[in-house]
Amino acid sequence: MLCYTKPKHMGYSHPATSRDRELQLYIGGKWRESESGAVRTATDPATDEPIATYPDGTREDTHAAVDAARSAQPVLERMSAFKRAELCHEIADAIDDQFETLVEWLIADQGKPIASAEYEVNGTSQLFRIAAEDVKRDEPPTIQSSNRNKRVYTMRKPHGVVGIVTPWNFPLSIPAEYIGPGLAAGNALVWVPAPTTSVVAVTLAEVLAETSLPDGALNLVTGEGPVVGDEVVSYDDVDAVGFTGSPETGEAIARAAGAKPTLLEMGGNGPVIVLEDADVKAAAEAATGGCYTNAGQVCGATGRILVHESIHDEFVERVVAQTDEMVVGDPWDEATDMGPLNNDGVAEKMDRHVRDAEERGATVLQGGGRVADAPTDRYYEPTVIDDVTPAMALNREESFGPVAPVLTFSDDDEAIELANDIDLGLISGVFTASLARADRFVDEVQTGIVNVNGGSTYWEKHIPFGGHSGKKSGIGRLGGRHTLEELSQLKTAIVDPGADPS
């Protein structure tokens, strides 16, 4: 059994050691308590030590946030696209200026290691810069009319008030995927973060509050999803909804949102497919990285590895060797590759998936349980499981933990059938030396993105990202101008200039 690695070096200081934080809601440009006065205690997932208190928001708090957004939205809409771009760049600068603070609270609140936290904070400011540049290049089409006296042109207009519900695995960058384009398009926003990472969400809002963001343009309501999340999604005065999270929650949000425009990113389960002509070393490295990045808590994680039977042994040997090199330990240690899972629910799901696989005949080659001697039982061993079959939960569901499940296939037809035979379809990878075979997999694998000779976690922030139709991985596309389009509406003007008065 893997043992916990104690810290050897700490390049950052745990922020909770320097001050106690009593956080508030951010509504209409002001910090305030919840209407009920109730608070919740946030704890460090790596140690279970309290780090702050935050408000347990109510439905009435959500109404107040929506009202504030409604008042602020015309201010944003009247700003030129270039002025909103300046605002987004100002926000990005502010994030960069508070880089260390955001990294420290991200580690303390989410549990990810230093390098992962630094990467996320860098990506968060980048997302605001991308939105700033995309909105300046927005060029909706002019359309030809059958009537020579008509002029038809289109423009992008904001939805109005957009409700945003975001998860705990990337609690800064995923909100930025919505907030940046949302503001750039002229919307006012009501943001409900995940309860288990509300502290770092408030920290980001504190950074944004010091910019020239108009009062009410961004409102933050913390609390339980079934209360404040449900209210922001279903409330009549919210015009559109953005959500990233589980398929189960996403489907509930889609039902609650009704006819509102929705942008939903709802998770996936790989796969990475390794054909017999692949570069096995490169494939094993990419697949292993995709399984263990952020402790597997990634919507594009390599939740399944499909390997041709002829190269199975070599591939698995490489994955086991790379897994053996993973350092699991204190997220404040620069040597740590993988910290704790964020919450008890995802650890329990890992237990259930591993147990189901073992009971159905799979072979646990490495890991398979909680890390010994760790400060909390949320530390999970990097786990390699062979002989996985299609009926197992590891294959059919998103584990969202550090696991490398290996299935085998005998030919391309079987690989494609295995890849498509689940109800998730977000992002996949295929490794092959044949361009013709790669083209077939791109064509036939039912995921929104297919990476050729790349793992399932590879994505760039301006590239369209979302689920395949017929699957439960979401609606719409995140990424660059595609998010901007989702968070705005196309309006058409048909102009008849009339007779020439001369």
Run of H or E residues at 154: strand 151-158
Q: Which residues pair with 218 in a beta bridge?
A: 189
Nearest to 101 by CA among 210, 5, 190, 183: 210
Examine residue 15 and say whether the peptide bond preceding it is cis (omega within 30 degrees of 0): no
**How are beta strands 305-308 and 272-274 bridged, if at all?**
parallel
User: Around Cβ 206, how many Cβ atoms within 10 Å?
Assistant: 19
* Contact call for residues 42 and 54 (beta carbons, < 8 A): yes
Q: How many CB atoms lie within 10 A of CB 131?
A: 33
Which pairing describes strands 151-158 and 218-220: parallel, antiparallel, or unpaired? unpaired
Give the span between the Cα atoms of 275 and 430, in whole angstroms: 7
**Residues with active-site annotation:** 265, 299
**Alpha-carbon gap, residue 196 to 171, rounded angstroms:** 9
How does DSSP classify residue 197? G
228 DSSP assignment: I
Provide the token pair at 253: 């949000």
Q: Are 274 and 105 in contact (CB under 8 A)?
A: no
Residues comprising the chain, all counted: 502
